[in-house]
Structures are given as C-alpha cells and as structure tokens.
Amino acid sequence: RPLASQMWPLVLLMVVLCCPSTNWVMAGVLPYPILPGILDQLLYVGGTFLVFFMVDRSSRCIECKPMPHILSTASIVLYTFQVVFITIFLQLLKSMVKHDIGSTSRDDGQRTVVLILTLSVLTSIAAVAVHMVFWRRLGRAGGSQQQLHIHLTGRNAA
C-alpha cells in the first residue's frame, strides 16, 4: 500500500527537508549541481526522487493522453544535449551574459538563464522537426510508408 498517499503530512515534511533553501551555489548546471557537502547532495537527490514520486502519484488521478511524437523526441534531444546547447548559447551571448552578471549590473542574470533555456528548447524542437522533414522527403524518395509512419508518429499504423 502506498504510504505517502495515506500519510500526506509526512510528504510535506519530506518536501521541506529535501528542498534546497537557495540556489546560490552556482557550481555545475542546475540539473547536475555540484553541491559543497555530502548531506546537501543527498538531500538534493532525495528531493528529486520525492518530486518524481509525487508527480507519478498525482498523475494517476487523471486520464493521460500521449505526448505528440515531435515533443517526446525533442525532450530526449534536450535532455541529452542540454549542456552542449547551454555552452553554445553562453558563448554566442557572451556579451549579454557579462553585462547581466557583471559587477556594474543590478540584475542577477535571470534574464540570461530564461533566454538560454528558451533557445535550448526551441533548438531541440527545431532539430527534431528538421529530422522529421528529412525522413518525410526520404519516404517520398522510395522509403516504406509504414516505416515512415512509425518514425514520424512513434506508433505502428497496423
């Protein structure tokens, strides 16, 4: 029997214990932070798993629909290449980043973070869209229609 569903105050206590208090430790990148202490690292991992279980449990109350194939593939591309995208966009936007987090700036760099995240998401979606268009044109050039349909939708038509 699920313990957290029946003892929800315990989950609130765990959320408070496992959530980081601030994000001022800027070592590493947000999905993979390099935190200073072992306890900090364990709490971060515990909080991550706790969020997974909370989302999974809350999703059981609603009917889920499949995600469009382009978005599911783009999410895998983004997860795999996020550090590459972040590095590329940091280099391309170096002057804006230096201005946002420089000693004379009053900003905390949040504008840059949102912009780079947005560019990374759009780049992954664009890469998948280009890939799908390539496969669609390849299908017209003599590929199997069934293989093309499986590749574009992620589902077998038969």
Backbone angles phi, psi at 33, to 5 degrees: -75, 150
Instruction: Determine which helix (DSSP H) or strand (DSSP E) holds 135, and give its type and residue range.
Output: helix 110-140
Is the confidence at residue 82, as pLDDT, over 70?
Answer: yes
pLDDT at position 154: 67
Cα separation values, 118 from 60, 74, 112, 113, Å: 29, 13, 10, 9
pTM of this prediction exceeds 0.85: no
Compute how many other C-beta atoms are within 10 angstroms of the C-beta atom of residue 89.
19
Biggest CA–CA distance in the chain, Å, is 62
Summarised one tens digit per residue, pLDDT across range 113-125 is: 788 889 999 999 9
- Phi/psi region, residue 67 (left: phi>0; alpha: psi -120 to 50; beta: rest), is beta
Q: What is the C-alpha separation between 121 and 75, in angstroms, rounded?
A: 8
Q: Supply the pLDDT for residue 110.
A: 66
The mean pLDDT value for 36-55 works out to: 77
Asked if residue 141 has pLDDT above 60, the reply is: no
Q: What whole-number distance in Å separates Cα of residue 41 and Cα of residue 47? A: 10
